[in-house]
């Protein structure tokens, strides 16, 4: 006897709930709830950070004069999405997928194209992207997200290297989550919604460089390349030996499902320059991956078809075969240059194979999509 197929809407509610609990991004939850009424009823709305009622946290650093009266700051989030048409010419040699960001200043029903590095608004130069877009014609998925603390009267909180939220899932109550930050000159601390003060995670180490949520856990790295795991009691536990990297700034990046440490090397353009605040320029990068079986660091020479982006507030990797505008086996970052009267941040690219740094140039139709075309 031939069995008739079961409709998606007839799945048991408890099974729908089990599936829904494994969805972490806004896009995935939105897709799940849009299948049918029963699926929509089985899962609550994504509990994201609303621009109308952002979460309030204490400031980890001393406020600038005139910016803060209450001692609290507001947490805002920016999400980077991949925007890929469902139907494109198969004969094309490159993907037509691009990146765009969604942040707190975006109005409902609109998207805002932002430079991944400078946070400046990208001006659309094509009439095609000035009109309404049917999002049913595109595949959209989340690539990365970043968080920032802002004073209640405006302006970002200074001296914060990185902010993350944990758990970083839309299916947990916002008011039960915490934020972890690297601030000051390398302190690692956390705060809960409604706290009056920050709590240090490590009282002995004030040399942290970065923090990340990797596979549902919080990890941090210090300037020596030692990776720490933050346990449920919010204490740091050494996870690895030092990476023996002699660089000046460490970054944590998830690449190909593995946790990488990217070591940034800096120096002053003029060795005789005694001015403390003059920026140092990037001269080199080293990439390491931890071999957990042997407890040793492996020097990564080739990223394959991946590219690493060291952006403003977030570090992530992209597949160059899926997203247009990036070169494989390269690292993208902000290259600080001191002008005559100011400091400029210029997007730059480091070729891991050739061991060279070149300024990234924007060309073609990249500006219309908020993503760079990187020319080597």
Residue 349 lies in a domain: yes
pTM (predicted TM-score): 0.81
Number of domains, the chain: 2
Which residues are registered as beta bridge partners of 192?
A: 178
Residue 49 lies in a domain: no
Instruction: Supply φ then ψ for residue 102, to 5 degrees.
Output: -125, 120
Residue written as token pair 């500006």: 367
Residue 101 lies in a domain: yes
Question: Same domain, yes or no, for 175 and 276?
Answer: yes
Residues 213, 185 contacting (CB under 8 angstroms): no
Residue 356 lies in a domain: yes
The whole-angstrom separation of Cα 193 and Cα 270 is 45
> How do 199-200 and 178-183 pair as beta strands?
unpaired
Which residues are registered as beta bridge partners of 290?
A: 297
Which residues are registered as beta bridge partners of 58?
A: 72
Instruction: Supply φ then ψ for residue 344, to 5 degrees.
Output: -115, 145
> Over its length of 376 residues, how does the chain's per-residue pLDDT go in tens digits?
566 777 777 888 888 888 877 787 777 888 888 888 888 888 777 655 544 446 678 878 765 554 444 567 888 888 888 877 776 554 444 455 667 666 555 555 555 555 565 554 454 444 445 556 666 777 888 888 889 888 877 788 888 999 999 887 666 666 778 999 999 989 999 998 888 889 999 999 999 999 999 998 999 999 999 999 999 899 999 988 887 678 999 999 999 999 999 999 998 776 666 666 667 889 999 999 988 777 788 999 999 999 999 987 889 999 988 887 789 999 999 876 554 444 566 788 999 999 999 876 543 333 333 333 333 2
Question: Same domain, yes or no, for 350 and 226?
Answer: yes
Question: Same domain, yes or no, for 74 and 17?
Answer: no
- 3-state SS class at 226: coil
Residue 376 lies in a domain: no
DSSP assignment of 179-221 = EEEEETTTEEEEEETT-SS-EES-SS---EEEEEEETTEEEEE
Two tokens, residue 50? 């609303």
Residue 302 C-alpha from the chain's centroid: 22
Domain span at residue 23 reads 10-42
């Amino acid at each position: 006897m031939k069995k008739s197929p079961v409709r998606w809407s007839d799945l048991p509610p408890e099974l729908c709930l089990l599936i829904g609990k494994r969805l972490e991004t806004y896009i995935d939850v939105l897709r799940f709830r849009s299948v049918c009424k029963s699926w929509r009823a089985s899962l609550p709305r994504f509990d994201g950070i609303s621009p109308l009622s952002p979460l309030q946290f204490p400031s980890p650093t001393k406020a600038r004069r005139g910016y803060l009266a209450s001692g609290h700051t507001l947490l805002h989030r920016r999400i980077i999405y991949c925007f890929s048409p469902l139907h494109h010419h198969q004969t094309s040699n490159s993907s037509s997928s691009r990146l765009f960001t969604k942040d707190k200043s975006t109005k409902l029903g609109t998207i805002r194209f932002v430079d991944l590095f400078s946070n400046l608004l990208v001006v659309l130069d094509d009439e095609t992207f000035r009109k309404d877009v049917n999002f049913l014609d595109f595949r959209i998925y989340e690539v990365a997200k970043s968080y920032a603390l802002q004073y209640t009267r405006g302006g970002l909180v200074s001296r914060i290297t990185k902010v993350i939220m944990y758990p970083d899932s839309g299916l947990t109550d916002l008011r039960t989550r915490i934020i972890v930050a690297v601030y000051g000159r390398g302190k690692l601390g956390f705060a809960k919604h409604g706290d009056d003060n920050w709590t240090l995670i490590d009282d002995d180490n004030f040399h942290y460089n970065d923090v990340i949520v990797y596979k549902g856990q919080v990890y941090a790295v210090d300037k020596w390349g030692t990776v720490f795991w933050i346990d449920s009691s919010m204490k740091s536990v050494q996870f690895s030996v030092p990476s023996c990297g002699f660089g000046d700034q460490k970054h944590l990046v998830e690449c190909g499902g593995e946790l990488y440490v990217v070591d940034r090397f800096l120096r002053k353009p003029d060795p005789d320059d005694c001015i403390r605040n003059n920026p140092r320029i990037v001269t080199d990068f080293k990439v390491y991956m931890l071999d957990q079986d042997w407890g040793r660091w492996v020097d990564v020479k080739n990223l394959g078809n991946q590219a690493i982006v060291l952006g403003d507030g977030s570090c992530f990797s992209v597949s160059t075969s899926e997203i247009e505008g990036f070169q494989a086996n390269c690292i993208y970052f902000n290259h600080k240059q001191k002008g005559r009267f100011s400091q400029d941040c210029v997007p730059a690219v480091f070729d891991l194979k050739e061991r060279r740094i070149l300024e990234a140039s924007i060309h073609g139709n990249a500006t219309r999509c908020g993503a760079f075309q990187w020319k080597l």
